[in-house]
Amino acid sequence: MIKGSAKRKYDLPDFEALLKDAKNGSEPALLKFLQCFEGLAVKLSRQSVCTDKLGEDALQIANLGILKAVRDWQEGDDIYRVAAFVTNKIRTELHTAIRRQQSVEAMESGSSQDASVKLDAQSYRAFQLSQQNRLRLWLVRECLPLLSHQQTKVIKGLLEGKTVLLIGRELHLDTRTISLHRSRAIKKLRLLLGVTA
């Protein structure tokens, strides 16, 4: 669980105020909110399946997901989950657009209805996989307080995309020690989450 002090620690924008102003029609607030999640939109729209099927439209569709997140956000919702909420909206928009594109391609190629259904099923399986990965990531974060202090710092660093070398520099530890903390943490997380493979 993220404490209130985390907002100051990571110097996050005031998403609560931004969302409120954006929902009330403030264009500067909406623009600022879009800018906050610009990197996420670019990352998700550049995934191979999105660029293959949607091309240059992928980024615009991802931005549409951000706008829908602003529209659908309810006052009183956990503001520290706003990034996950926006991510889900972007993924949903991209997934829907891909399904539509696949249906159009199937119709244009004169394929049977069975082929179209098969494409939809394949796309949906890929979407379910991404949902499963997000669920696993959420579970890992929920289990972090059960790890040792150093193990928690190492896993948090890895989740942020940092390398073992960079984490070692930040914690003033050698890479061998960081790797040891990582392997012990992963072993404990596997036990906590019931992962056998």
- Could you tell me the residue range of the domain that residue 170 belongs to? 147-197
Q: Which amino acid is at 167?
A: I
- Are 33 and 66 in a shared domain? yes
pLDDT in tens, 180-194: 998 888 888 777 766
- Are 74 and 18 in a shared domain? yes
| CB burial of residue 162 (10 Å; 0-12, 13-18, 19+) | middle
- Are 58 and 128 in a shared domain? yes
- Are 140 and 51 in a shared domain? yes
- Are 97 and 152 in a shared domain? no
At 8 the pLDDT is 41
pLDDT of residue 1 exceeding 60, the answer is no
- Are 174 and 131 in a shared domain? no
Domain count across the chain: 2
pLDDT of residue 88 exceeding 60, the answer is yes
Task: Give residue 110's region: left, alpha or beta (phi > 0; psi -120 to 50).
Answer: left
- Are 170 and 111 in a shared domain? no
Domain endpoint, select from 145, 170, 185: 145
Question: Please, what is the average pLDDT of the chain?
Answer: 77
Using only C-alpha atoms, the chain has a radius of gyration, in whole angstroms, of 20
At 106 the pLDDT is 64
- Are 104 and 64 in a shared domain? yes
C-alpha to C-alpha distances, 119 to 22, 56, 162, nearest whole angstrom = 37, 21, 36
- Are 158 and 137 in a shared domain? no
SS3 track for 17-32: HHHHHHHCCCHHHHHH
- Are 97 and 126 in a shared domain? yes
- Are 169 and 114 in a shared domain? no
pLDDT in tens, 6-34: 444 444 578 888 888 888 888 888 888 88
pTM over 0.85: no
Task: State the Cα–Cα distance between residues 183 and 13, nearest whole angstrom.
Answer: 34
Domain endpoint, select from 130, 145, 160: 145
- Are 127 and 153 in a shared domain? no
pLDDT in tens, 158-169: 877 788 888 999
